[in-house]
Amino acid sequence: GCFKDDRIVFWTWMFSTYFMEKAGPRQDDMLFYVRRKLAYVSAENTEGKKVEVEVYRKDSKKLPGLGDPDIDWEESVYLNLILQKLDYVVTCAVCTRSDAGDIHIHKKKCQEVFASPSKHAMDSKGEESKMSYPNIFFMIDNFEEVKDVKMKMNIFSLNSGVSPTADSLTLW
């Protein structure tokens, strides 16, 4: 009843204020909406909800209406916050651990990455990305540079006798 309507009003206001009206210098012109659709009805007559993420440009004429009850406004606010307002950095390092347990970094590379509610296989060209929500994947903007760093790290480990640990290259 009333409480649900108040929540929709509050989260719709948050979405409108922070993602539709205020654009940061690096904010994308895309808006992400989490839509809940009736997926099935179980034997106990309990509703199941299917979740879809819809993506629109801010100036699209097809934007869902503010307050649309099929949009999960709270989740849409959180998703846009994660995708557009936070910065992420991936760090890759070749390390060794001393007998005392101290970690020594031999080579390190940091690079900004971008959050996405979809994933794309890096080993095949032309394949479409697939929606992964609620899982968030991180895109590496300059994959060639990262491959070059990985090769240099592998050469470093061969020349120095330092073997990368399983922890040091888990992103590769």
Per-residue pLDDT of the chain (172 residues; tens, 9 = 90+): 555 678 889 999 999 999 998 766 666 789 999 998 765 545 554 455 678 999 999 999 999 999 899 999 999 999 999 999 999 998 888 888 889 989 989 888 888 888 999 987 766 665 678 888 999 998 776 666 656 656 555 555 555 444 444 444 434 3
Distance from C-alpha of 123 to C-alpha of 135, rounded to nearest angstrom: 20
pLDDT of residue 88: 92
pLDDT of residue 138: 87
Distance from C-alpha of 22 to C-alpha of 14, rounded to nearest angstrom: 11
For β-strands 103-116 and 118-119, DSSP reports them as unpaired
DSSP state of 154: H
The pTM (predicted TM-score) of the whole model is 0.69
One-letter amino acid at 8 equals: I
pLDDT of residue 35: 94
Q: How many CB atoms lie within 10 A of CB 29?
A: 11
pLDDT of residue 6: 86
